[in-house]
Amino acid sequence: MLRPKRKSILMAWIAGLLAALGMTSRAANAQTDHAKLWQAYCAHFVSSEGRVIDPQGADRTTSEGQSYALFFSLVNNDRARFDKVFEWTQSNLASGDISLHLPAWTWGRARDGNWGILDPNSASDSDLWIAYDLVEAGRLWKDPRYYSLGRKLAALIAHREVANLPGFGPALLPGPVGFKFPKSWVLNPSYTPVFLLDRLAKIDPAGPFADVAAEVPVLMERSARNGFAMDWVSYTPGLGFTPSLSDNHTGPQATGSYDAIRVYLWAGMLNEASPAKARLIHALPGMNIYLQTHAAPPEKISNQGVPLGQDGPVGFSAALLPYLQSIPNQSALAQQMVRFKSQLNEKSNLYGTGYGTGPAYYDQNLALFATGWMDRSFQFGSSGELLVRWTRE
């Protein structure tokens, strides 16, 4: 633990570094890094119809991408884009009515060359985000239609994607189909941001969301390996949690990687008043310890909780910024900030060298969360409510 004087000196140094890197609050009329990134993201990944395109995924669209685009449209007070993204989502993923149908998780070009839904199963994390986006859009933009649709989608999630696990309690299944097995269930720890659950619990006190939120710290404490989050875990009553694949297979292929990196991001962005935050951070010390002696986060963690050699992409550094800011390891925060900012392409305003198709779509999503939260374009309140800069300007 740092002594108070040394800590204050270090914090002042970090504050100066963050200011120099453009990651602190700015004047109301100045365009933030987050706003620039959002504009670049829309130009590169969002079609005029409101479809979010993943170039590294054969130009497919996922409900996750749509849910994040809705969120950042709201954060940036981009009502026209929000409307387009939602209408495309409802029309193409939810059979025209999201109050009655959970959105399909993936849409793209099928083997026969036709474009449409590739898998009708839904992804519960995206469903949570979309319900939250609609509820908060209804509140912030004073639109009762969006608020009502968000509540109805939340009711669908509660009915179809929440299960009571014997010996554990209520949990959010990754989707309505394919995650319940004869003697076990499969969960994805990154699918349960507590602030989303807290907000939906507020608007639906009779629903399961408060109980699901209460179990999230327990899930992380019991499923992490050596303080590292896993992508997927299998739960068996009496035996507990084991790292697995989404199909319930266990073994060396089970890792903590591109899904799990969001666990640290969601924990770091939680409001300090949330009783879950300290427990989540305490359950996930592995990444903090690793970054005390390494310049970049690992791309993969083994099923035994051992970091593997390859460095993670720039989006991983972005995702860890709120987490590291919540821990008194300010040197790691500064190091990851420098790594993240050093990979900004000033011509495109996107991050990372990317692939043959350009900067990685997933990196930009993680960067949008990090830049927006760090420069206070958005925060989450103590009950999960969305706090946005544009309401204060």
Instruction: Convert the pLDDT of each residue in 189-204 to its tens digit.
Output: 999 999 999 999 999 9
How far apart are alpha carbons 251 and 258 in whole angstroms? Answer: 18
Instruction: Give the pLDDT mean for 263-285.
Output: 97
Buried b (16+ CB within 10 A) or exposed e, 2-31: eeeeeeeeeeeebeebbeebbbeebeeeee
pLDDT digits (tens, 9 = 90+) for 91-141: 999 999 999 999 999 999 999 999 999 999 999 999 999 999 999 999 999
Asked if the model's pLDDT at residue 3 lies above 50, the reply is: no
Q: How many CA atoms within 13 Å lie on the side-chain side of 191?
A: 24
Asked if the model's pLDDT at residue 29 lies above 50, the reply is: no
Percent pLDDT > 90 in the chain is: 88
Catalytic residues: 64, 125
Rounded mean pLDDT of the chain? 93
Q: Confidence band (pLDDT; 50, 70, 90) for 358?
A: confident
Asked if the model's pLDDT at residue 30 lies above 90, the reply is: no
pLDDT digits (tens, 9 = 90+) for 216-260: 999 999 999 999 999 999 999 999 999 999 999 999 999 999 999
pLDDT digits (tens, 9 = 90+) for 146-161: 999 999 999 999 999 9
- Is the domain defined by 43-160+375-393 classed in CATH 1.50.10.10? yes
Buried b (16+ CB within 10 A) or exposed e, 306-315: ebeeeebbbb
